[in-house]
């Protein structure tokens, strides 16, 4: 019997490309972007080297760069100057997120998918993702009313895909009903179905100037639970979600693979701020090859089953991928 020699298929770069089981394309990458109200110039985010809170001017330039790089879309977050208990700025047509959405729709709406974060945490003075009850807990059903209002304003502003990240029960059904009732039947919903109460969100809190007091463990998923992520995804699909997502990505690849195995709709993953910051820090210290680590991390997320990845490296990675082609 001849010896089995799998190395034959690894012998050259051309062979490795030809037999690769998983590929990453620029169109499968989504760039999260932060726009800061009142900013005259981009504001660097210390814990996320290379990422900024954009002014409206720098935002336009960054949108053009994303479109030129061929990424699939942008996910927009607003950083308001003022906050209150119910997140009024989220439903103000002149609030920063809705202004940014109109800019993005006008500038690149034909070139990529304009997506918006539908959550109250950036806009509340307590930093939670919903309206608080008298006892300080997050009131699920009162929050759904605010989400419905947000959905309509974001859709009117030009968002093509609403990212429901608040993890309230029945949020997909509530938003879908509100959209359809006002004629926005073509506006799609991305449900953050498997969103875990993770320590890896730390740098994001700086990015949106979070005012969070306490934690979000009563509504985000327990990191110990694998099946619960699949259950949440199934519920969101049944309520009318067009896409479901697992967040974070790298330490929840088992959940991502489980969801991808059973979902009949697209499954995405969010490579979150902490994942980004760790690779950037290790690379800055010379401990890892930055480019190889970034691309390997994206391949791993795609290999686990993500159809698309939200990543702060979207534009840079898209350019690298174009070079490799």
CA torsion 122-127-129-131 (nearest 10°) is -110
CA-to-CA distance for 204 and 106, rounded, in angstroms? 27
Residue 53 tokens read as 């809170």
Cα dist. 307→150, 179, 243, 244, 299 in Å? 27, 25, 10, 10, 11
92-97: which pairs have CB atoms within 8 A and are 24 or more residues apart? Answer: 92/153, 93/153, 93/156, 93/157, 95/37, 95/123, 96/35, 96/36, 96/37, 97/35, 97/122, 97/154
- The 10 Å Cβ neighbour count of residue 81 is 12
CA-to-CA distance for 56 and 298, rounded, in angstroms? 29
Q: Which of 195, 204, 270, 314 is catalytic?
A: 195
Whether the ω angle into residue 321 lies within 30 degrees of 0, i.e. cis, is no
Task: Tell me the three-class secondary structure of 174-190, residue by residue.
Answer: HHHHHHHHCCCCCCEEE
Longest Cα–Cα distance of the chain, Å, equals: 76
Residue 46 tokens read as 């210390």
213 classed as catalytic = no
Q: Which of 247, 249, 255, 260 is catalytic?
A: 247
Active site residues: 195, 247
């Amino acid at each position: 019997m001849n010896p089995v020699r799998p190395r034959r298929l690894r012998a050259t770069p051309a062979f490795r490309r030809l037999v690769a089981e998983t590929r990453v394309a620029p169109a499968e990458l989504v760039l999260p972007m932060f726009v800061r109200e009142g900013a005259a110039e981009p504001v660097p985010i210390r814990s996320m080297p290379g990422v900024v809170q954009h002014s409206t001017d720098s935002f336009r330039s960054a949108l053009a760069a994303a479109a030129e790089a061929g990424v699939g879309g942008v996910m927009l977050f607003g950083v308001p100057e003022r906050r209150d208990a119910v997140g009024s700025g989220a439903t103000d047509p002149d609030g920063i997120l809705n202004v940014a959405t109109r800019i993005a729709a006008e500038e690149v709406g034909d070139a990529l998918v304009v997506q918006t974060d539908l959550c109250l945490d950036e806009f509340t003075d307590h930093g939670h993702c919903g309206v608080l009850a008298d006892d300080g807990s997050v009131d699920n059903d009162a929050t759904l009313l605010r989400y419905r209002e947000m959905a309509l304003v974001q859709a009117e502003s030009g968002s093509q895909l609403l990212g429901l990240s608040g993890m309230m029960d029945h949020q997909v059904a509530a938003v879908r009903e509100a959209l359809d009732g006002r004629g926005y039947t073509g506006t799609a919903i991305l449900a953050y179905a498997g969103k875990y109460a993770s320590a890896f969100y730390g740098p994001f809190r700086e990015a949106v100037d979070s005012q969070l007091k306490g934690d979000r463990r009563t509504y985000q998923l327990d990191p110990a639970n694998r099946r619960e992520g699949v259950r949440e995804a199934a519920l969101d699909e049944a309520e009318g979600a067009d896409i479901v997502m697992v967040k974070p990505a790298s330490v929840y690849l088992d959940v991502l693979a489980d969801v991808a195995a059973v979902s009949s709709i697209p499954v995405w993953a969010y490579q979150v701020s902490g994942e980004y910051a760790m690779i950037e820090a290790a690379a800055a210290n010379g401990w890892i090859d930055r480019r190889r680590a970034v691309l390997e991390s994206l391949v791993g997320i795609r290999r686990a089953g993500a159809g698309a990845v939200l990543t702060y490296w979207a534009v840079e990675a898209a350019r690298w991928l174009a070079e490799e082609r």
